[in-house]
């Protein structure tokens, strides 16, 4: 078994949000110690890690000290500066490696890579000026979506251009930043496949998970998908594993897809880490995406991804706290619903504070149950509830 890092060792996480928190919980359950590194303190990850290091990612001396004290490094979000990762790699293996991070943290590099390998992606153009944008709109047509080339998530840094006449006003808001224009996709549904690849090249996946977004933020995820056919699900898994192989990923990666109205699969984007939609694997699978991330980066065999039945996940945003604390007792009274909170003390509109998962005999029942559980948290008259899947 190559480069085994055994239980009792220290693993490091760049980033300190809820993904790092759930990774740290899985790691500590298996006897590993966890160090987290980020510019903030008392973070979701830091609250459960053994050591919380608070320093800017640009403080390369602090990064060196962090990396010298761990056996392997992973990350829980992709907007970590390249210099930080390159510095850490001098002292400990970073998994997935810096090349994967460099490719996936930049939309243009990501789309260019995928296109060059023959993966199905939306038509796109590189944008550096208003002239580039108008020329690209002539080629791709409208509506189209303009996105910043780097550092975007949850819909940030993107804007639909409904018609060419609005190009100038939309581009002004981008303040000259490098961008990418993509054809608008008239999709039937959005879904994701979370996969894992081990040091020895072995791979595993949890199958397609159907997703619904509200205001560009994931709202509800359901497994198995309600809309994908078996051939479409098989194709999505095959594409995902080919992407992991092509990028030489060691760790967990999510491939987000569109299913078009014509039945075609298109890759929307990649996330080189556990994914919000994969949270349902914590309660719904033999091995969660977070335990799998640990297994992969430590050179352990991958765990079983067998799902225990139908499962759904609903995000809990700060909106739920809008008029006071949620009514926790109502949800705790539902025996097939599990609550996960991220340790954040400042609920804000759109901020991910936690999630609910529900297991049921069918995906329709799981979806209905998790949405009911979320509604039960909110006092009547608290305002508009989030849309359902």
Homologous superfamily (CATH) of 123-183 is ATP-grasp fold, A domain (3.30.1490.20)
| Contact of 199 with 244, CB cutoff 8 Å | no
Instruction: Tell me if the domain spanning 10-94 has CATH number 3.40.50.720.
Output: no
Question: Could you give the residue ranges of the DSSP H alpha helices within 248-362?
Answer: 281-284, 289-297, 328-332
Domains 123-183 and 187-377 share a fold: no
3-state secondary structure (DSSP) of residue 136: helix
3-state secondary structure (DSSP) of residue 3: coil
| Contact of 267 with 254, CB cutoff 8 Å | no
Taking the C-alpha atoms of residue 235 and residue 257, their distance in angstroms, rounded to an integer, is 11
Cis-peptide into 48, omega within 30 deg: no
Taking the C-alpha atoms of residue 183 and residue 49, their distance in angstroms, rounded to an integer, is 42
| Contact of 207 with 278, CB cutoff 8 Å | no
pLDDT given for residue 379 in this prediction: 73
Taking the C-alpha atoms of residue 365 and residue 333, their distance in angstroms, rounded to an integer, is 17
DSSP string, 58-87: T-HHHHHHHHHT-SEEEESSS---HHHHHH
End-to-end CA, the chain: 43
| Contact of 134 with 146, CB cutoff 8 Å | no
pLDDT given for residue 174 in this prediction: 85
Please, which residues have CB within 8 angstroms of residue 266's CB and are 6 or more apart in sequence?
120, 121, 122, 185, 187, 257, 258, 260
pLDDT given for residue 153 in this prediction: 60
pLDDT given for residue 323 in this prediction: 84
**CA-to-CA dists, residue 324 to 155, 315, 318, 382, 387, angstroms:** 27, 18, 10, 9, 21
**CA-to-CA dists, residue 296 to 10, 21, 204, 293, 325, angstroms:** 15, 17, 10, 5, 38
Contacts 24+ apart (CB under 8 A), 232-236: 232/208, 232/259, 232/263, 232/265, 233/207, 233/208, 235/265, 236/191, 236/193, 236/208, 236/265
Joined tokens for residue 141: 């047509």
Joined tokens for residue 219: 């709202």
pLDDT given for residue 270 in this prediction: 96
Beta-carbon neighbour count of residue 178 at 10 Å? 15
Beta-carbon neighbour count of residue 360 at 10 Å? 18
pLDDT given for residue 140 in this prediction: 95
Residue closest to 137 by CA, chosen among 186, 185, 187, 180: 180
Contacts 24+ apart (CB under 8 A), 27-35: 27/290, 27/294, 29/291, 30/291, 30/294, 31/7, 32/7, 32/8, 32/294, 32/298, 33/8, 33/9, 34/10, 35/10, 35/11, 35/66, 35/69, 35/70
3-state secondary structure (DSSP) of residue 26: helix
Parallel, antiparallel, or unpaired: how do β-strands 337-341 and 310-317 relate? Answer: unpaired
pLDDT in tens, the chain (389 residues): 457 999 999 999 999 999 999 999 999 999 999 999 999 999 999 999 999 999 999 999 999 999 999 999 999 988 899 999 999 999 999 999 999 999 999 999 999 999 999 999 999 999 999 999 999 999 999 999 999 987 656 556 789 999 999 999 999 988 888 899 999 999 999 999 999 999 999 999 999 999 999 998 999 999 999 999 999 999 999 999 999 999 999 999 999 999 999 999 999 999 999 999 999 999 999 999 999 999 999 999 999 999 999 999 999 999 999 888 999 999 999 999 999 999 999 999 999 999 999 999 999 999 999 999 999 999 765 444 444 44
DSSP string, 191-222: EEEEEEE-TTS-EEEEEEEEEEEETTEEEEEE
Taking the C-alpha atoms of residue 278 and residue 289, their distance in angstroms, rounded to an integer, is 6
Parallel, antiparallel, or unpaired: how do β-strands 10-14 and 203-214 relate? Answer: unpaired
Domain positions in the chain are: 10-94, 123-183, 187-377
Joined tokens for residue 298: 């430590």
CATH architecture for residues 187-377? 2-Layer Sandwich (3.30)
pLDDT given for residue 384 in this prediction: 45
Phi-psi region of 221 (alpha: psi -120 to 50; beta: other; left: phi over 0): beta
């Amino acid at each position: 078994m190559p480069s085994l890092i055994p239980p009792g060792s220290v693993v490091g996480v760049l980033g300190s949000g809820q993904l790092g928190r759930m990774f740290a919980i899985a790691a500590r359950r298996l006897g590993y110690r966890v160090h987290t590194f980020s510019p903030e303190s008392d973070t979701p990850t830091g609250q459960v890690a053994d050591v919380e290091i608070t320093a800017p990612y640009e403080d390369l001396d602090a990064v060196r000290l962090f990396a010298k004290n761990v056996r392997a490094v992973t990350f829980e979000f992709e907007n970590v500066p390249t210099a930080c990762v390159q510095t850490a790699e001098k002292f400990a293996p970073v998994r997935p490696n810096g090349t994967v991070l460099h490719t996936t943290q930049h939309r243009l590099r990501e789309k260019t890579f995928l296109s060059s390998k023959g993966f199905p992606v939306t038509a796109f153009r590189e944008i550096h000026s208003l002239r580039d944008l108008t020329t690209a709109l002539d080629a791709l047509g409208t509506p189209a979506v303009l996105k910043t080339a780097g550092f975007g998530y949850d819909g940030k840094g993107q804007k639909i251009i409904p018609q060419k006449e609005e190009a100038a006003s939309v581009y002004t808001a981008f303040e000259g930043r490098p961008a990418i224009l993509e054809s608008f996709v008239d999709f039937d549904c959005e879904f994701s496949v979370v996969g894992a690849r081990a040091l020895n090249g072995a791979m595993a996946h949890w199958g397609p998970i159907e997703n619904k977004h509200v205001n560009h933020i994931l709202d509800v995820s359901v497994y198995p998908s309600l809309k994908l056919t078996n051939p479409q699900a098989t194709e999505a898994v095959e594409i995902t594993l080919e992407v992991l192989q092509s990028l030489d990923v060691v760790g967990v990666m999510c491939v987000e897809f569109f299913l078009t109205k014509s039945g075609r699969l298109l890759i929307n984007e990649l996330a080189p880490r556990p994914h919000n939609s994969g949270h349902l694997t914590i309660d719904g699978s033999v091995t969660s995406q977070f335990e799998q991330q640990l297994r992969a980066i430590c050179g352990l065999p991958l765990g079983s991804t067998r799902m225990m039945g139908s499962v759904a996940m609903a995000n809990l945003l700060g909106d739920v706290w809008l008029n006071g604390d949620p009514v926790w007792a109502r949800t705790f009274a539902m025996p097939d619903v599990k609550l996960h909170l991220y340790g954040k003390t400042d609920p804000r509109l759109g901020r991910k504070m936690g999630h609910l998962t529900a297991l049921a005999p069918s995906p329709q029942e799981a979806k209905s149950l998790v949405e009911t559980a979320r509604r039960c948290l909110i006092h009547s008259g608290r305002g508009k509830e989030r849309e359902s899947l």
